[in-house]
């Protein structure tokens, strides 16, 4: 195992006087690890993402990424959310290129290296199955296709940390499973670190190396679960007994959290 | 269900105009209204032809003062809207003031403007400006102030500065609001100009109508009305087309 890439040391965050949103978080994530956070609604999973990317500072405790304390927005991370949030006046290709117009050092090279960057974007869009849709506008794409483009946008500047906040939550079951495989393949190929926040236990178990289960507000990590299923995992795995047993165990733990 | 007929749909506004003119003419004739009270459509048309020279001269005056006032309104509205919309503090601070200002009837400003600038084109331009910049400010500011928080997160995590977010997302996003407000603003600008001209000018359609009215030449007054509304409609349509051209992405599905 490589050294810890992300570490949380006794981290708590209170947005206001009403109490902590998340509390006493201690964990470490290795470079290239795929972790998933599951838990009941309002357990501070999104808060965790904001802390991890430096969009919000913790009230107490310390967060380190790549052995450096997090003090501001972490440019080595890319984000995607439940809503694809593509800009409707930009084509799919231009949407994917957006981060390169902003993040350093690419923003200063954008004019000069534009052709090269377009090449990156096209290649990335091709790997998620959006070849031929580059010049379409987001509203001409289906929900699943928009979400693929959104993930491309999160990855275009080659981040080392990919943050996904329920990215497949609004999709139908078949599209969702398709996109699991898209994400799996991207991750297998590039091995960036992924933090996936989700409500879907099957999604967490299928994709992640490690699943963290969080309690209700104030959110604490109450269980860390290593997923030992061999890789690469095929979608069929999710219909086999060991996987189903695993999901049921996770489900039982979540049930306990909800009833307490 | 009636059948969808594109030709009828395109002709609909013209049919309505013709119907209105016919109702007008028939009503005046049937009730035998004297022409110094309410001239018939025919008399109005005659006045339009007879006085076409002076009408054209005064219309031109009204037209260019309106356009200058409108231009000022767009420039000031854009800048003010951008400033107010880009900061939550300024938005909260200035919005009530703007609403209060907008509630003042603009005709109340005209005497003040006359004291300051004398009668003529300047008060007309300024009244047009005062009345039309408000919808532009509000629309631009609202477009900027209602950014999706997730979109902001996506960009902020990349190290985007406030200005990056405003220029890459906020401004293009507020363009449909801006172009929609132009349509409203241009018609309001005509209102402002004409109001000012009726009180404080010796040129322009407002002045023409005022002086024709005082001589009981109602045909000419109505001709003036027609000319103003025709100018406003043409300008409205122009900006509606511009809006469609510039922000087609915001009207998706409507013309497909």
In a domain? residue B114: yes
> Token pair of B177, please?
């609001």
Enclosing H/E stretch for B208:
helix B205-214
Which residues in chain B have Cβ-Cβ distances shorter than 8 Å to A77?
157
In a domain? residue B103: yes
Percent of chain B with pLDDT over 90: 47
A98 touches chain B (CB under 8 A): yes
Domain boundaries, chain A: 1-76+160-260, 84-159
Which residues in chain B have Cβ-Cβ distances shorter than 8 Å to A104?
159
Centroid of chain to Cα B219: 25
Instruction: Compute the nearest-CA separation of A73 from chain B (Å).
Output: 5
Instruction: Compute the nearest-CA separation of B3 from chain A (Å).
Output: 28
Q: Is the separation of the CB atoms in B69 and B189 below 8 Å?
A: yes
Residue A70 φ/ψ, nearest 5 degrees: -80, 120
Beta bridge partners of A210: A35, A226
Residues A89, B249: C-beta atoms closer than 8 Å? yes
Angle (CA) B214 B58 B220, round 5° = 40
Tell the residue number behind the tokens 């795929």, with chain if given.
A34
Instruction: Compute the nearest-CA separation of A256 from chain B (Å).
Output: 31
Angle (CA) A226 A227 A233, round 5° = 155
A103 touches chain B (CB under 8 A): yes
Residues A73, B249: C-beta atoms closer than 8 Å? no
> Token pair of A253, please?
């733990």
Residues B158, A153: C-beta atoms closer than 8 Å? no
B159 touches chain A (CB under 8 A): yes
Instruction: Compute the nearest-CA separation of B181 from chain A (Å).
Output: 19
Q: Is the separation of the CB atoms in A15 and A4 below 8 Å?
A: no
pLDDT of the residue at B236: 93
How many domains does one find in chain B? 1
CA nearest neighbour of B59 among B254, B245, B230, B251: B230
Q: What are B184-214's pLDDT values in tens digits?
A: 999 999 999 999 999 888 899 999 999 999 9
Which value, in Å, is the radius of gyration of the alpha carbons in chain A? 18
Q: Residue B66's domain is classified under what CATH number?
A: 1.10.3720.10
SS (H, E, C) B76-131: HHHHHHHHHHCCHHHHHHHHHHHHHHHHCCHHHHHHHHHHHHCCCHHHHHHHHHHH
Q: What are B120-133's pLDDT values in tens digits?
A: 899 999 999 999 99
In a domain? residue B47: no
Beta bridge partners of A193: A161
In a domain? residue B73: yes
In a domain? residue B134: yes
**Which residue range is the domain that position B98 belongs to?**
59-204
Angle (CA) A37 A206 A213, round 5° = 25
A28 touches chain B (CB under 8 A): no
The ipTM assigned to this model is 0.76
Q: Which residue of B has its CA nearest to A138?
A: B249
Average pLDDT for runs of 10 along chain A of length 260: 79 83 88 89 80 87 87 86 88 92 85 89 89 90 91 90 89 88 90 90 91 85 87 87 89 78
**Chains A, B: CB contacts under 8 A, how many?**
66
Instruction: Compute the nearest-CA separation of B157 from chain A (Å).
Output: 5
pLDDT of the residue at B2: 57
pLDDT of the residue at A2: 57
Q: Is the separation of the CB atoms in B184 and A100 below 8 Å?
A: no
| Integer CA distances (angstroms), B167 to A42, B106, B174, in order | 33, 34, 10
pLDDT (tens digit, 0 to 9) for every residue of chain B, 256 residues total?
Answer: 556 778 888 889 899 999 999 999 999 999 988 888 889 888 999 999 999 999 999 999 999 999 999 999 999 999 999 999 888 888 889 889 988 988 988 888 899 999 999 888 999 999 999 999 999 998 898 888 888 888 888 888 888 888 888 888 888 888 888 998 999 999 999 999 999 999 888 899 999 999 999 998 899 999 999 999 999 999 999 999 988 888 877 766 544 3
In a domain? residue B137: yes
Nearest to A85 among B151, B175, B252 (CB): B151
A106 touches chain B (CB under 8 A): no
Which residues in chain B have Cβ-Cβ distances shorter than 8 Å to A101?
168
Residues A98, B168: C-beta atoms closer than 8 Å? yes
CA nearest neighbour of B81 among B35, B136, B24, B9: B136
pLDDT of the residue at B255: 42
pTM (2 d.p.): 0.77
Enclosing H/E stretch for A60:
strand A60-65
In a domain? residue B160: yes
In a domain? residue B6: no
Enclosing H/E stretch for A252:
helix A241-259
A54 touches chain B (CB under 8 A): yes
Q: Which strands sit side by side in the sheet containing A34-38, from one edge to the other?
A: A77-81, A161-165, A193-197, A34-38, A210-214, A221-226
Nearest to A89 among B148, B158, B172 (CB): B172
Residue A181's Cβ-count burial label (10 Å; 0-12, 13-18, 19+) is middle
CATH class of the domain comprising A1-76+160-260: alpha beta
Using DSSP, state whether A226 is helix, strand or coil: strand
Q: Is the separation of the CB atoms in A219 and A177 below 8 Å?
A: no
Beta bridge partners of A25: A11
pLDDT of the residue at B160: 85
A77 touches chain B (CB under 8 A): yes
> Token pair of A6, please?
């992300």
Angle (CA) A185 A97 A206, round 5° = 20
Instruction: Compute the nearest-CA separation of A245 from chain B (Å).
Output: 35
Which residues in chain A have Cβ-Cβ distances shorter than 8 Å to B252?
88, 137, 139
Instruction: Collect contacts of A96-101 with beta carbons under 8 A, ≥24 apart.
Output: A96/A121, A96/A124, A96/A125, A96/A149, A96/A152, A96/A153, A96/A156, A97/A121, A97/A156, A98/A153, A98/B155, A98/B168, A99/A153, A99/A154, A99/A156, A99/A157, A99/B154, A99/B158, A100/A156, A100/A157, A101/B168
For chain A, the residue count is: 260
């Amino acid at each position: 195992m490589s050294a810890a890439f992300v570490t949380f040391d006794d981290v708590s965050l209170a947005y206001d006087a009403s109490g902590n949103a998340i509390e006493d978080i201690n964990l470490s994530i290795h470079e290239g690890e795929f972790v998933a956070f599951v838990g009941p609604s309002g357990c501070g999973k999104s808060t965790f993402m904001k802390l991890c990317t430096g969009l919000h500072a913790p009230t107490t405790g310390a967060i380190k990424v790549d052995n450096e304390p997090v003090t501001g927005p972490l440019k080595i991370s890319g984000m995607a959310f439940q809503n694809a949030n593509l800009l409707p006046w930009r084509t799919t290709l231009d949407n994917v290129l957006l981060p390169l117009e902003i993040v350093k050092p690419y923003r200063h090279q954008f004019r000069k290296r534009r052709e090269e960057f377009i090449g990156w974007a096209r290649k990335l869009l091709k790997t998620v199955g959006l070849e031929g849709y580059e010049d379409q506008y987001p509203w001409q794409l289906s929900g699943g296709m928009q979400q693929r483009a959104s993930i491309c946008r999160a990855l275009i500047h080659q981040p080392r940390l990919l943050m996904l906040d329920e990215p497949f939550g609004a999709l139908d079951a078949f599209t969702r499973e398709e996109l699991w495989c898209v994400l799996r393949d991207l991750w297998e190929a590039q091995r960036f670190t992924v933090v996936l926040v989700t409500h879907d236990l099957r999604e967490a178990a299928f994709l992640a190396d490690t699943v963290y289960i969080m309690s209700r507000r104030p959110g604490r990590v109450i269980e860390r679960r290593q997923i030992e299923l061999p890789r690469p995992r095929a979608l069929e795995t999710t219909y086999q007994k060991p996987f189903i047993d695993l999901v049921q165990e996770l489900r039982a733990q979540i049930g306990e959290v909800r009833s307490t | 269900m009636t059948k969808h007929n594109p030709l009828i749909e395109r002709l609909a506004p013209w049919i309505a105009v013709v119907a209105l003119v016919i109702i007008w003419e028939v009503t005046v004739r049937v009730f035998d209204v004297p022409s110094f009270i309410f001239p018939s459509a025919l008399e109005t048309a005659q006045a339009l032809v007879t006085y076409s020279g002076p009408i054209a001269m005064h219309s031109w005056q009204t037209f260019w003062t309106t356009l200058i006032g409108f231009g000022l309104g767009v420039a000031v509205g854009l800048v003010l809207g951008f400033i107010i919309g880009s900061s939550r503090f300024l938005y909260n601070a200035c919005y009530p003031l703007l609403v209060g200002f907008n509630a003042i009837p603009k005709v109340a400003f005209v005497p003040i403007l006359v004291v300051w600038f004398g009668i003529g084109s300047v008060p007309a331009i300024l009244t047009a400006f005062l009345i039309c910049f408000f919808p532009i400010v509000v629309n631009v500011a609202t477009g900027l102030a209602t950014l999706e928080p997730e979109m902001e997160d996506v960009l902020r995590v990349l190290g985007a500065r406030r200005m990056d977010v405003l220029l890459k997302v906020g401004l293009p996003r507020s363009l449909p609001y801006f172009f929609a407000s132009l349509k409203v603003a241009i018609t309001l600008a005509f209102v402002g100009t004409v109001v000012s001209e009726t009180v404080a000018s010796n040129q322009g359609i407002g002045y023409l109508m005022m002086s024709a009215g005082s001589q009981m030449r109602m045909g000419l007054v109505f001709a003036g009305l027609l000319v103003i509304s025709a100018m406003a409609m043409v300008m409205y349509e122009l900006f509606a087309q511009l809006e469609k051209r510039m922000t087609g992405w915001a009207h998706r599905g409507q013309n497909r």
